[in-house]
Structure 1
């Protein structure tokens, strides 16, 4: 079933001089089994939106339907522990959440907290370590002796060890070098394709949205400005400009070539296809 927001609003510090409406009348369906990007300018409500998915924040108004749970306004949901097992939320810089002496203990913590035996939790730690691209030699190491990218993998492994149905990632590639960011995004797509996780990614990186995501939700001033598939979204050049979104490089190049007089269909989103079209048109005019 999809994740559904129905007339959801969220106000920080209500009934005070610091009151701020971060979400306003959000009506939204997020497809199950897809990789969905949540995008928008800073302050648009992206992080506030996703923190409602496992009830870290409760709606001030409206309700959220997720998996087999309903989160009502200002009402702590029943079976909150089960909800947080099913919806894994990975914060920006998740490596700051590491705290145990060893990597094995850190990854095992979540499953043990949800009633899994010591032995099974250790097996999950080994399995998740492999899935995030690290071998068993890391199990007895301190998480604080690793590189930033490795720490992030360990933190994500700890979330995956609880086997959530929905994986929510808030700026998961922030601070990583290009190869590290690529590895992270490929990991999330693998979790979607091979392990059938619904993946939501809050991001500012339009290159990642184009390459790795299926759907797009655009937030603007606390409201949903647009929802559609990735291809349709990046075909709407006027909308991108209106939302102050810098398109991926291939689209910027395509539009510049169109301004220079090349006849290029706006549906082209692949650099190799773009190169073939340009080469063909140049050859025609030789």
Structure 2
């Protein structure tokens, strides 16, 4: 058990006319070692939820346990520096994380802040630049000279340079083209499976949820609506309709075939699986 929310609520601007309850009595356990998608409508509380994970936001009430550290409402949290090394958060807007004169200085800022020598930090910067598929020539450039997608890659590189145990990503593929999105999601999957990092991704892309994630958490109106494994979630057409979620294309195609009278298994989640199931149906009716 690496992350546990217990009756966590968060209210912005409390005791003012602008008070707004973004989270209410959230109970949630994030499975260690899994890749978990956080989904929900805009304004549902997803970003507020994940910003509690490295204490950028503190609970108004309740408590959460993160990698054996307890953060409780009304109690000054301890060991925040080590927590923010272990839990790396990539913001939805990369501009929030890029502030140095050059990309190299941006990436090595985190490791140096945690006691890594400049020489080792530079070596780590080169390693993570390769991971996010950026040429070394970018290291001497200003972040202001980059495209939106390149800024996002640099922001991710800066977090990876600190070697976090938990990686939290808020809309990490926004601004990337389809090929870039696929490469980035493949990287996160590799970090999860090969390096055993717990990965949380806030996303609206259901294709990414199905193809890369193990579990899905649905946030609705500041509360946890449900937590399920991904395949179980997408088997429930009525639930997706209730949440106004458009399922991945392969799930939509399977549902359309079912409505046409085909008797298909409910675990067809790839083109090959669905094609084989349809082929059996066609042969059965010949």
Scaled to the shorter chain, the TM-score interval is over 0.9
- The answer to whether 1:170 aligns with 2:180 is no
- The answer to whether 1:160 aligns with 2:160 is yes
Asked if the contact 1:58/1:76 (under 8 Å) is kept, the reply is: no
Deviation digits for residues 232-286 of structure 1 (CA, Å, limit 9, x no counterpart): 1111222111111111111111111111111112221112111121122223323
Deviation, structure 1 residue 103: 2.0
Deviation digits for residues 54-78 of structure 1 (CA, Å, limit 9, x no counterpart): 1111101100100021111133311
Residue 47 of structure 2 corresponds to 47
Q: Which moved more, 1:234-243 or 1:244-253?
A: 234-243
Deviation, structure 1 residue 93: 2.5
Residue 105 of structure 1 corresponds to 105
How far apart in 2 are the matches of 1:103 and 1:131?
Answer: 15
Residue 68 of structure 1 corresponds to 68
Residue 22 of structure 1 corresponds to 22
Residue 251 of structure 1 corresponds to 251
How far apart in 1 are the matches of 2:52 and 2:280?
Answer: 50
How far apart in 2 are the matches of 1:158 and 1:41?
Answer: 28
Q: Secondary structure at the match of 1:227?
A: strand
Asked if the contact 2:7/2:26 (under 8 Å) is kept, the reply is: yes
How far apart in 1 are the matches of 2:5 and 2:228?
Answer: 16
How far apart in 1 are the matches of 2:219 and 2:139?
Answer: 40
Deviation, structure 1 residue 13: 1.4
How far apart in 1 are the matches of 2:267 and 2:127?
Answer: 41
Q: Secondary structure at the match of 1:194?
A: helix
How far apart in 2 are the matches of 1:164 and 1:7?
Answer: 26
Deviation, structure 1 residue 91: 0.6
Q: Secondary structure at the match of 1:58?
A: coil
How far apart in 2 are the matches of 1:142 and 1:254?
Answer: 47
Residue 145 of structure 1 corresponds to 145
Deviation, structure 1 residue 96: 4.7
Asked if the contact 1:101/1:142 (under 8 Å) is kept, the reply is: yes
Asked if the contact 1:35/1:189 (under 8 Å) is kept, the reply is: yes
Residue 267 of structure 1 corresponds to 267
Structure-1-length-normalised TM-score: 0.95
Asked if the contact 2:108/2:158 (under 8 Å) is kept, the reply is: yes
How far apart in 2 are the matches of 1:6 and 1:284?
Answer: 52
- The answer to whether 1:87 aligns with 2:87 is yes
Residue 229 of structure 1 corresponds to 229
- The answer to whether 1:238 aligns with 2:238 is yes
How far apart in 2 are the matches of 1:76 and 1:172?
Answer: 31
Residue 122 of structure 1 corresponds to 122
Deviation, structure 1 residue 148: 2.7
| Structure 1: unaligned runs, 5 residues or longer | none
How far apart in 2 are the matches of 1:168 and 1:74?
Answer: 25
Matches within 5 A, 1:162-241: 162-241=162-241
Aligned CA distance change for structure 1 residues 149 and 175 (closer, same or farther; 3 Å):
closer
How far apart in 2 are the matches of 1:174 and 1:135?
Answer: 20
How far apart in 1 are the matches of 2:165 and 2:178?
Answer: 28
Deviation, structure 1 residue 193: 1.5
Q: Secondary structure at the match of 2:33?
A: coil
How far apart in 1 are the matches of 2:96 and 2:57?
Answer: 20
Count of paired positions: 286
Residue 280 of structure 1 corresponds to 280
